[in-house]
Structure formats: structure tokens, C-alpha cells
Amino acid sequence: MDNVSLGVIGCGVMARDLARRCVRLGRVRIAAVYDSDPDIAASAGVELVAEPVFDVGELCNRIDIDAVIIASPPGAHLEGVLAAAAAGKAVFCEKPLGISVAECDRMIAACRNAGVPLFVGHVLRLFPLFRHSIRLCRDSVIGKVRGVAITRTGYSTEFHSGWRSGRAMAGGLLYEVHVHEFDYMRALLGRPTRVTARLDDAYRKMEYEDTAYVMVEFEGGGTGLLHASNSSPIGEYNVHIHGSEGNMVHGGFGGNLRYQTIHGVATEVSLSEIGGQNPYDRELGSWIDSLTIGLEPLFTGEDGRMAVAMAECAYRSAGSGKPVSISEVLTPSD
């Protein structure tokens, strides 16, 4: 395929941004858009110069569509992916892939059986400080990575109403937001084995927790810690990576990255020094290249499923008060 004709499912903030970026990147046109709210579909149609349609199956079955972007709420991703797979259309699905491993399994199986590729938008890994930290750690600048502690806290009233406030569509804080951090932990530490978590709901503004403390154990002995909350008027983002010969800290979406070995001198790199392509353009470029010239995609359904598995283990652990093995939520053949 030389050019890609796209359908968009869910036409909110993220979908419109992704669609506009695809068009700017070239080789892409938006043919049709669908949203469960017809007024939103109609306005997206005007904005993206695409035909609004009012049924997800109708959108996926159009012969002028090669692929779909799914950016509906997480609890609706399953419906979109299954409709796209049934119609033989390639899929870009926003994170989280689903709000349970069982949902992810259904999506991956449907796409595999239909022979369509499934890409999941785990863009966090591509933000400059995250991307640079992964590269430096793979170059062993602090020795072998042994652990990572991430704090991501804030207070967004966006979570207090609409689909983000409910479990049915958001899944919970760890699905809707922090699959990003779980995916980043995997990029640094490999395969997760066991998760222990405690949750809290200090302000009771959503149907689910507003604070989570999660410990993830990895094959090879690595440890990941996540402190996440949407109950922190003083928000912060910071990452601390421990290596066998030194450590690295960075500020996530802003600030600098610093690292030092025990006997070395500190090295500091600023966001602007790292530079590089916009992370969303980079992920979409990878997706389009995978469809048009067959390049290996940056992220697949399996990446989406593993991040969801870590979140699901955390919820089970918080419920039981015990550590939960990844093997308990994945099938034995995994």
C-alpha cells in the first residue's frame, strides 16, 4: 500500500490530534469518522474534511478505508478493534489496549485471525527524556539497570466527570494513565514477573482509586516502583533509575536528565539538547511506515497487553493484599 486511507473511531481530543498529524506526515487521507455522539462525529467530519458515519461497523466496512485509528475511551476499544478486524482493517489503538487482559486477548486473536496488524499507542517511551534514558541504559552508562522508581502525581478535575470518572470506560487510574509507566518499566527492565500494590481513594471524586503504590518485580531481579496519584495539588513527575555502577534521574516530560557512575562525574543533558521528532509524529510515522513499506512497528498489541497485565495484577494484588504473578493473568503458553 503506497497511501493510507483512514477511518477514525472516537473523535475527541486525542483522535483529532492523531488524525491531523497523520495528514501532515503525508501518505494519509482521512476518509470517514465515527463517534458514538453524532454531533461530535459531524463536527470532526467538518474539521478533518471526512465523511461522518453513524455506525462503527459501517465505518469499518467501507471499501475506501485501509486502516482505523481508535481513540474512543478505553472501555470502548474492544468494540472498535473487533469491528476493524472483522472488516480486515489495520488498527492503531490508543492506550490502554483494553481494561483487562481478557479483552486484550480477544483483540489480539481477532487481528491475528484476520491477518491485520495491531499497533498500540505507547508513546511515553518516545518522549525525549524517556527515549534518551532508555538509549543510555541500553548503552550501560550506569551499568546494568536494577531498578526504577517513578513518581507521577497531579490533580486533574477532568477525571471527576464524564467517562474518565467511571470504571466502565476508564478502567481505573492504572489503566487509563499508568499503563504508560508500566510500559516504560518494561523498556528498562524486561519481562515483569510479579506485582504488589496498595490503592487509596483520598478525595473520592472518581469511581476508582485516586492514588496507587505499585511494586513490580522483573525477570533477572529488577524492581519497578510507581507512585501515582490524581490527588496531588502539588504535582510532580520524576524518574530515578538505579544501575549496578551508578544512577540516573530525569524529570519525565520536562527538566533535565542527569547520570553519574560511582567513580565518574555527573553528566547532565537538557530536553532541548536531546531534541528529536515530536513523539506523536514518531509513533504515527512508525505505524504508517509499517503499513506502507513494511517496517517493523515500534509497538504491537503484545506491548499493549503486557502493560494491561501489569495493571490487572496491581488491582488483584490491592484486592487480595498479596503479590500477584503475571502468570496468573496471562495464559500458561505466554
Ligand X SMILES: NC(=O)c1ccc[n+]([C@@H]2O[C@H](COP(=O)([O-])OP(=O)(O)OC[C@H]3O[C@@H](n4cnc5c(N)ncnc54)[C@H](O)[C@@H]3O)[C@@H](O)[C@H]2O)c1
- What are the residues binding ligand X (CB under 6 A)? 9-15, 35-37, 40, 71-74, 76, 79, 94-95, 121, 123, 176
Q: Quick one: 72 or 231, whose CB is closer to ligand X?
A: 72
At closest approach, how far in Å is the CB of 213 from ligand X? 22
All cell numbers assigned to 255: 527538566
Report whether the peptide linkage leading into residue 96 is cis, meaning its omega lies within 30 degrees of zero. Answer: yes
- Give the shortest CB-332-to-ligand X separation in angstroms: 29
> Strands, E, within the chain: which ranges?
4-9, 28-34, 51-53, 67-70, 90-94, 118-121, 145-153, 192-200, 211-218, 223-229, 236-243, 246-250, 256-261, 267-270, 324-325
Nearest approach, Cβ of 196 to ligand X (angstroms)? 25
Alpha carbon distance 158, 89 (integer Å): 32
DSSP line for 18-72 = HHHHHHHHSSEEEEEEE-SSHHHHHHHHHHHT-EEES-HHHHHH-TT-SEEEE-S
Min separation Cβ 201 and ligand X, Å: 20
| 76 vs 195 by CB, closer to ligand X | 76
CB of 179 to ligand X, least distance (A): 9
- Rounded to a whole number of angstroms, the minimum distance from the CB of residue 15 to ligand X is 6
Helix (H, G, I), strand (E, B) or coil at 323: coil
Residue number of the CB atom closest to ligand X = 12
Q: How far apart are CA 252 and CA 184, in angstroms?
A: 11
Nearer to ligand X, 95 or 132 (CB): 95
Is 84:66 a contact under the CB 8 Å cutoff?
A: no
- Phi–psi pair at 290, nearest 5 degrees: -65, -30
Containing 135, the helix (H) or strand (E) segment is: helix 128-138
Decide whether 37 or 236 has the Cβ nearer to ligand X: 37
Query: Least Å distance between CB 142 and ligand X?
Result: 27
How far, in Å, CA of 295 to CA of 286, rounded?
A: 8
Complex with ligand X: residue 13 or 234, whichever CB lies closer:
13
Q: How far apart are CA 75 and CA 97, in angstroms?
A: 9
Cβ atoms of 176 and 152 within 8 Å: the answer is no
Q: Which is nearer to ligand X, 68 or 142 (CB)?
A: 68
Nearest residue (CB) to ligand X, 176 versus 209: 176
**Closest distance of CB 244 from ligand X, Å:** 32
Task: Specify burial of residue 253 (Cβ count, 10 A radius: 0-12, 13-18, 19+).
Answer: middle
Closest approach of ligand X to the CB of residue 62, in Å:
16
Residue 202 CB coordination number (10 Å): 12
Q: Which is nearer to ligand X, 9 or 189 (by Cβ)?
A: 9
Which residue lies nearer to ligand X by CB, 74 or 222? 74
**The dihedral formed by the CA atoms of 101, 102, 103 and 107, expressed in degrees to the nearest 10:** 100
